Amino acid sequence: MSKDDITKIEVGDGAAIPSPDDKGLVSAWWVALIGTVGMLIALPVLKPDPYLTILKFVPDGIVVTFEVTILAIVFAIIIGLLTGLGRLSSNRFINMIASLYVEVVRGIPLLVQLFYIYFALGRIVRVPDIVAAVIAMAFCYGAYMGEVFRAGISSIDHGQTEASLSLGFDKKQTMAYVVLPQAWRTILPPVGNEFIALLKDTSLVSILAVADILRRGREYAAESFNYFETYTIIALIYLLITLLLSKLISAMEYRLSHYERR
Amino acid sequence: MNVVEPIIQIQNINKYFGAFHALKNVSLDIAPGDKIVVLGPSGSGKSTLLRTINKLETIDSGTIIVDGHDLTDPEEDINAIRMELGMVFQSFNLFRHLSVLDNLTLAPVKLKKMEKSQANDIALRLLDKVGLRDRAGHYPIQLSGGQQQRVAIARALAMEPKIMLFDEPTSALDPEMIGEVLDVMVTLAKEGMTMVVVTHEMGFAREVADQVVFMDQGAIVEQASPDVFFDNPQHQRSKLFLQQIL
Amino acid sequence: MKKLLFVLGMFLILCNSAWAEKEIVFATDATWPPMEFVNDQKQVVGYAIDYMTAAGKEAGFKAVFKNTAWDGIFAGLAASKYDAVASSVSITEKRKKAMDFSEPYFTVRQALIVAKDSAAKSLEDLKGQKVGGQIGTTGYFTIKTVDGLEAKSYDEVGLAMEDLNVGRIAAVVCDDPVAANYALDKYKDTLKIAAVMESGEVENYGVAVKKGNKEILDLINKGIAAVKEKGIDKELQEKWIGQ
C-alpha cells in the first residue's frame, strides 16, 4: 500500500499556502512578508501625513474584519459539515435539501447574496448589521465548505469504514471516530483556503455599511481625498494578514499530518 | 456431521449486484470451533459470501443466522452481532490516524465502555501474542504489511469475538511476510477459535481446515475435508481448479 | 452595402464632432433623488441634470452625464476621467483645497430623518445610537461632529434609508431635498423629517472641476449665471422639488 494515497483536494482560489516542501513558495512568502512589513513601517515613518493618519484610522476596522471572518467561518464549518454529510446521506430527502442548498448558493454571486440576506433579514428580524453580515457570509461559505467536507469524507478509503463497521460501530460512530478524524487532514488545506478567501471576501460586507477595514479606509479617503495612499495601506494590511494566516494554516496542516510520517 | 447446534447457519441465500448473480442458493452450516476454508477462483463469490456473514453485504433472499440472531430480521441490532464477529481484511484497514495501541483499544473503550487501562492491558497482551508489543506506539504507516495484518488480527481479537472472518488476509502481502501472518492464524485455530477463511493458501487449508468449501460462479461446488478435497476431489471443476493452482 | 454603411457612419461621426459644440462630461452619482437619480426609463434625470443641460444651452456646451459611484467620484475627477462632478457636491473649505468649484447652483440644508414614532428632534437626542449617512457627504460629516453618536457610512443614501426603515439605525442625515424625497414620498408611512439643521453657515452645491481647469469652469459658470438670470432655476425647483 502506498504511503501517499491521501487524496489532495484541488484548490482553485484562495491564498497560496506554503507547504514546507515547496521551496519556491516558501521563499516567495518571506520576500512578500518582509516587503509588506517594510512598507508598513517605512511609509508612515517617511511620510506620516497621510500614512500614519490612515494607520491610526483603520484598526477598529481590522477588529471588525476579524470578528466577521471568525464568526462566519465557525458557522460555515458547522453548516459545511452538516451539508457535506447531507450530500453523502443515503436518505433521499436530506440529500435533496443539502444538494439544493449547494446548488442555489453556488449559483448566486456572493455580493448579491449579501445584499439579499441583509435586506431580507431586515424585513423579518431586527438584527445588528454585523450579525446579518455573519449570517450572510456563513450561509454562502457553508455551501462551499459543504463541498470541501464532502470531498474530504469521500477521499477516505472505504476500507476504513468497513473495518469500523465490522468492529460493531454504527455509521455515526464510524463517522465520528474513524472517518472525520482522518478527513480533517484532507479537509484542512481547503478549509484554510476558504478561511483566507472568506477574510478577503469580508471586504464585501463594507457595502452593507459594516465598518470593516475597507469601509474605514473608504471613509478616510472620502474625507481626505487621499485615495491612492489609503488603498496602498489597506492592500498592505490585507496582505500582511493573509500572509500570516497562510503560514499558520501550513503549520497546522503539518502538525495534523503527524501520522503520515514515518 | 456435527451434533452441536451450528453457530452460523446460511440457508439458500441469493445475492445480486445489479444483473450479476453473485451468490446462487448458497447454504452452509458452521459449528462452534469449526475452521472453514473457502477456496475458489476470483469472482467465484467467496469474498461476497464471507461479507454476508457480518452483513457488510446484504442478501436478496434466504436467511443467515449467527449465534441465534437472524441477520435478515430488521429488529436485530446488527452492531451487537458484529461485536461477536471479528473481521480481517485483505488490505488490513488499520485506522491510519491511530497508533497501534489505539487501534486495538478504540472499539473496547467506545463500545464495551471498558476502562482505558484495562483495554490497554488486553491490547498489550494481544500484541504480545502477535509478536508486536514493541510497536504499540507506532502508526500503521510505520509498519510493514505483515506487521499491519498481525495488528489487524489483534484489533479484531480485542473485542473478544466468538467467530473470526478472514477475507484473503495474505493476498496483499509480499511473499516473505505471508508466513508471519499465517503463523498467527494457526495459533488462533489451535486455541479453538471458530474461523471462516477465504484464502489462496493451500498449505494453510490443508493444515488447519476442518472443512474446505470450494466455490465457483456464485455457488458451492464441493464441501469436503481437506484430505478428500485435495487428494480426491469429486467434481470436475474442483479438479480443474486444483490443477491450475498446484 | 456594409462598406457603404461604414463610410456613411464615418462621415456622420466626423460631421458630428466637427459641428458639435464643446462637450462637457459631468460625473453624477444618480442615487440622490430628486437632484440626480435614475428614473424608471433608466435615464439619469433630476434637478441637477436639467440645470446643467440648460446651462449648456446658454453657454454653448453639450452636457453629458456619466453615472458614477459616489465613493471615488473625486478620485476619478483628479484622474481626468470626466470634466466635472455635478452630484449635489456641497462646497466646503476642505474640498476647495482638492478641487475647484463653480458658482453655487443650489442652496441646501441638512435634514434629520427618523422613524415616524421617534421623539428625537436633533442629533443630540440620539446619543449612543447609530446614525447613518452616505460616505463622504456633508450629512455624514455632520453626524461625526456630534460626540456620542455611532456614525455609520453607507455607499448610497437609499441603503441608509432602508436600514432606518427596518430599524437597524435610529436616524439618517442627508441634504434636505433628498430627505424630502424619501420621507415625504417613498417611506412616507414609516419615516419623517425630524429637523432641518441650521449648521450656521450656508451650504451650497457647486460643480467641481479638476484643480486649475479654468476653461471648463468658466464655461460652466457662464451657463449657471445665465440660468439664474433667466429664472430657469426657479422653474426647475418648481418641477423637481415643488417648493
What cell does A261 get? 510520517
CATH C-level class of C2-107+204-240: alpha beta
Residues in chain B: 246
C residues 79..98 contacting A (CB < 8 A): 94-95, 98
**pLDDT tens digits, residue range A100-116?**
999 999 899 988 988 88
Identity of the residue in A126, A208, A222 whose CB atom sits nearest the CB atom of C71: A222
Question: Which residue's C-alpha cell is 423629517?
Answer: C193
**Any chain C CB within 8 A of the CB of A128?**
yes
User: How does the average pLDDT of chain A come out, rounded?
Assistant: 86
**Any chain C CB within 8 A of the CB of A223?**
yes
In 3D space, the residue among C241, C224, C235 whose CA is nearest the CA of residue C57 turns out to be C224
**pLDDT tens digits, residue range B20-35?**
999 999 999 999 999 9
Q: Give the residue from C155, C165, C166 with the most A CB atoms within 10 Å of its CB, the best one to mutate.
A: C166
Q: What is the pLDDT of residue C54?
A: 94
Please tell me which chains touch B, using 3 or more CB pairs under 8 Å as the contact test.
A
Question: Which residue's C-alpha cell is 466635472?
Answer: C84
Minimum CA–CA partner of A2 in chain B: B141
Residues in chain A: 262
Residue A112 CB coordination number (10 Å): 10
Q: ipTM of this model?
A: 0.93
Q: What is the mean pLDDT of residues B55-61?
A: 95
Ranked by mean pLDDT, which of A223-237, B159-173, C146-160 comes out on top? B159-173
Q: What is the pLDDT of residue C2?
A: 60
Identity of the residue in B82, B145, B165 whose CB atom sits nearest the CB atom of A167: B82
Residues of chain C with C-beta less than 8 angstroms from the C-beta of A119: 162, 166
Q: What share of chain A is helix, strand, coil (3-state, %, to 5)?
A: 80, 0, 20
In 3D space, the residue among B34, B91, B80, B30 whose CA is nearest the CA of residue B55 turns out to be B80
pLDDT band at B124 (very low <50, low <70, confident <90, very high): very high
Contacts (Cβ under 8 Å, ≥6 apart) of B192: B33
Say yes or no for a CB contact (<8 Å) between A223 and C94: yes
Q: What is the pLDDT of residue A58?
A: 87
Residue C14 CB coordination number (10 Å): 10
pLDDT band at A7 (very low <50, low <70, confident <90, very high): low
Say yes or no for a CB contact (<8 Å) between A219 and C72: no
Identity of the residue in A122, A219, A228 whose CB atom sits nearest the CB atom of C168: A122
Q: Give the residue from B79, B90, B96 with the most A CB atoms within 10 Å of its CB, the best one to mutate.
A: B96
Contact B111, A169 (CB under 8 A): yes
Q: How far apart are CA B128 and CA B124, in angstroms?
A: 6
Residue B103 CB coordination number (10 Å): 25
CA angle C4–C7–C12, rounded 5-degree value: 125
Q: What is the mean pLDDT of residues C117-132?
A: 92
Q: How far is CA B8 from CA B167, B168, B218, C178, C235, in A?
A: 17, 20, 19, 86, 101
**pLDDT tens digits, residue range A8-32?**
555 455 566 777 677 777 788 899 9
Minimum CA–CA partner of A183 in chain B: B97
- The percent of residues in chain C predicted with pLDDT above 90, rounded, is 56
Calculate how close chain A gets to B11, using CA atoms only, in Å: 22
pLDDT at A3 exceeding the cut of 60: no
Q: What is the pLDDT of residue A2?
A: 40
Torsion, Cα B182 B187 B192 B196, to 10 degrees, reads -10
Please tell me which chains touch C, using 3 or more CB pairs under 8 Å as the contact test.
A
Range in A24-28, B190-194, C10-14 the model is least confident about: C10-14
Calculate how close chain A gets to C34, using CA atoms only, in Å: 23
**pLDDT tens digits, residue range B197-215?**
999 999 999 999 999 999 9
Q: What is the mean pLDDT of residues B70-99?
A: 94
pLDDT band at B246 (very low <50, low <70, confident <90, very high): low
Q: What is the mean pLDDT of residues A173-182?
A: 94
Identity of the residue in C78, C98, C135 whose CB atom sits nearest the CB atom of A219: C135
pLDDT band at C56 (very low <50, low <70, confident <90, very high): very high
pLDDT at B216 exceeding the cut of 90: yes
pLDDT at A4 exceeding the cut of 50: no
Q: Give the residue from A218, A228, A229, A230 with the most C CB atoms within 10 Å of its CB, the best one to mutate.
A: A218
**Any chain C CB within 8 A of the CB of A119?**
yes
Say yes or no for a CB contact (<8 Å) between A215 and C153: yes
pTM for the model? 0.75
pLDDT band at B130 (very low <50, low <70, confident <90, very high): very high
pLDDT band at A186 (very low <50, low <70, confident <90, very high): confident
Question: Which residue's C-alpha cell is 469472482?
Answer: B43
Q: Do chains B and C touch (3 or more CB pairs under 8 A)?
A: no
In 3D space, the residue among B18, B71, B2, B48 whose CA is nearest the CA of residue B219 turns out to be B48
**Environment class of residue B20 by beta-carbon count within 10 Å: exposed (0-12), middle (13-18) or buried (19+)?**
exposed
Say yes or no for a CB contact (<8 Å) between A129 and C166: no
Q: How far is CA B23 from CA B13, B17, B40, B161, B213, in A?
A: 7, 9, 13, 26, 14
Q: How far apart are CA A248 and CA A242, in angstroms?
A: 10
Minimum CA–CA partner of A181 in chain B: B97
Question: Which residue's C-alpha cell is 472443512?
Answer: B211
CATH C-level class of C110-197: alpha beta
- Stretch (H or E) spanning C183: none
Q: What is the mean pLDDT of residues B123-137?
A: 95
Q: How far apart are CA C185 and CA C86, in angstroms?
A: 24
pLDDT at A6 exceeding the cut of 80: no
Within chain C, all domains assigned CATH 3.40.190.10 are found at 2-107+204-240, 110-197
**Amino acid at site B20:** F
**Environment class of residue C65 by beta-carbon count within 10 Å: exposed (0-12), middle (13-18) or buried (19+)?**
buried
DSSP assignment letter at C182: I
Residues of chain B with C-beta less than 8 angstroms from the C-beta of A155: none
Mind listing the domains of chain A with CATH numbers? 29-261 (1.10.3720.10)
Q: How far is CA B19 from CA B15, B16, B22, in A?
A: 10, 6, 9
